[in-house]
A = this chain, B = another copy of it.
């Protein structure tokens, strides 16, 4: 349901222009372009993970279209934090111009550098931290500490002569966080008093009433579950959730258990986090999985990936007995993670599989073993009341989240006409304290599939969905163009359609007859003969089998 497209006016020199290239109307591929005085500033460049209607797609990128021809004007890409939906598209952006400066906090840069190394890209980076001020071309930036489900996250104040914008990035307001690094409401208040013209704010949990529970309420629950576990404990969570892993390390330590990290991304990220001091590893607690296999069952915790039911991740392979760790009676599995909508079937399949093997499974639905990293409605109200922004643009959410966030802003007194329900590609101009949508660009999905970027189109995905639902029938026939006589074939093959290709013997004579008849009626060219074959087979399969497979006729002239 894209908005109607319309061209924005030429950009006035005294106006700040903001265009989200992804992340508005969806959760993922966050990327926003700020333009002033002929220069561009990019905040975040993340990926979106495909839905079941986008089969075979590996990743979805923001649409670089609106900035593609202006990469030399980009002064920097600033990253708010190290999650994939904020940094995952950076390698694809740098493929187009490798020397765009990448700015972010210590942990964020360490994570993007590790990722870029896999892509064999060595970036130009610049480390910043909360409180720091940077001037990038016409953009004056100040960084504000925010609390999220990964350490070292930042909100960014973007000041220009046209006005000041606060870009929150992802945040919540845990008042007693594990690392004591709270979202800096004093800085928000100070900026509020100076006057913030526009805020782009995280909408993920805007439709969740109340307050996101404290991270530190989880530790005792984990400790208790592990204390009561009879045999092995397997904890699955997100591979970048340093605080959750910290809690598991601490809970294991308190119970005299060792911890083995499982899964490539878990090992990589936690090594980085430990090296930089974000993860405090109790002396001697980490062991590798080979060593773990030699310990008694009640002295080990495996910390793994796969909490979203991903079929190739450690946890799903355990549930299918396809992993070296064979789950059995008495083992305890903890899913210390949220359940991302769309993953329910996959996750419950894993849970059911583990339970059939005899494991006890503890998850968010049965115990408080996870809390979200995003601010709920109650926190957003605090935030708006402290900031008192002139204009609000909800981002980082589906329409239902954006609307909920908009309602909160309005409830705190932001005038309704100053709350912008935008979309990817909406062109928002800020001038004299007023933000308005002045254009709507066409923003598409850019699919990464194998080594291709942007090659797979929505039409290909439609074909794939048809293939998935109905399979296909391919018909090869070589004809004498004069007589329509089938010289070779019809050869008919099908997949995903029926187990027995003998059914096609019925339709072959119909194809032969139709081709001859078409030739008698003057048909001569390959394409027209193909259409004849398509029609005959389509009608037959529909009436005889009530099915609509993809029909792929190949007619060549003999």
Interface positions of A (Cβ within 8 A of B): 1, 25, 51-53, 55-56, 207, 319-321, 341-342, 344-345, 348, 351-353, 355-357, 361, 365-366, 398-400, 403, 449-452, 455-457, 459-461, 463-465, 467-472, 474, 476, 478, 488-489, 491, 493, 495-499, 544-547, 550, 552, 554, 556, 558
Contact = CB atoms under 8 A, between A and B. Distances in A.
Integer count of this chain's copies in the complex: 2
A56 B499 contact: no
Nearest 5 CB-CB pairings of A with B:
A468-B468, A56-B469, A450-B546, A467-B467, A55-B468
Contacts of A498: 452, 455-456, 460
Contact of A474 (B468, B546, B552): B552
A277 B512 CA distance: 59
A380 to B, nearest CB: 16
A361 B461 CA distance: 30
A544 B450 CA distance: 10
16 contacts: A1-B352, A1-B353, A55-B469, A56-B471, A342-B344, A452-B545, A459-B499, A460-B496, A460-B497, A463-B495, A464-B468, A476-B476, A476-B554, A478-B488, A488-B558, A493-B552
Contact of A357 (B1, B357, B488, B545): B1
Contacts of A497: 460
A399 B344 contact: no
B455 A499 contact: yes
Contact of A472 (B457, B488, B495, B546): B495
B355 A403 contact: yes
B1 A499 contact: no
A15 to B, nearest CB: 27
A366 to B, nearest CB: 7
A470 B352 CA distance: 28
Contact of A463 (B400, B457, B496): B496
A469 B469 CA distance: 12
Interface hub of A351, A365, A468, A491 (most chain B Cβ within 10 A):
A468
Contacts of A460: 471, 495-499
Contacts of A365: 207
Contacts of A398: 348, 352
A41 to B, nearest CB: 29
A554 B493 contact: yes
Contacts of A459: 499
A23 to B, nearest CB: 14
A283 to B, nearest CB: 38
B496 A467 contact: yes
A459 B496 CA distance: 8
A270 B452 CA distance: 52
A400 B499 contact: no
Nearest to A355: B399
Contacts of A450: 545-547
A52 to B, nearest CB: 5
Nearest to A471: B464
A55 to B, nearest CB: 4
Contacts of A319: 1
B491 A476 contact: yes
A286 to B, nearest CB: 31
Given A456-B499, A467-B472, 19 more contacts: A1-B319, A1-B321, A1-B356, A1-B357, A25-B352, A55-B468, A56-B468, A355-B400, A451-B547, A460-B471, A460-B497, A460-B498, A460-B499, A464-B496, A467-B471, A476-B491, A478-B478, A488-B556, A493-B552
A461 B469 CA distance: 9
Interface hub of A321, A400, A465, A469 (most chain B Cβ within 10 A):
A400
Nearest to A455: B498
A27 to B, nearest CB: 10
Given A471-B464, A472-B472, A342 B341 contact: no
Contacts of A342: 344-345
Contacts of A461: 496
Nearest to A449: B547
Contacts of A355: 399-400, 403
B464 A361 contact: no
A470 B556 CA distance: 26
Contacts of A469: 55-56, 464
B463 A471 contact: yes
Contacts of A344: 341-342, 344
A356 B397 CA distance: 13
Contacts of A449: 547
A464 B52 CA distance: 14
B554 A495 contact: no
A443 to B, nearest CB: 15
Contacts of A547: 449-452
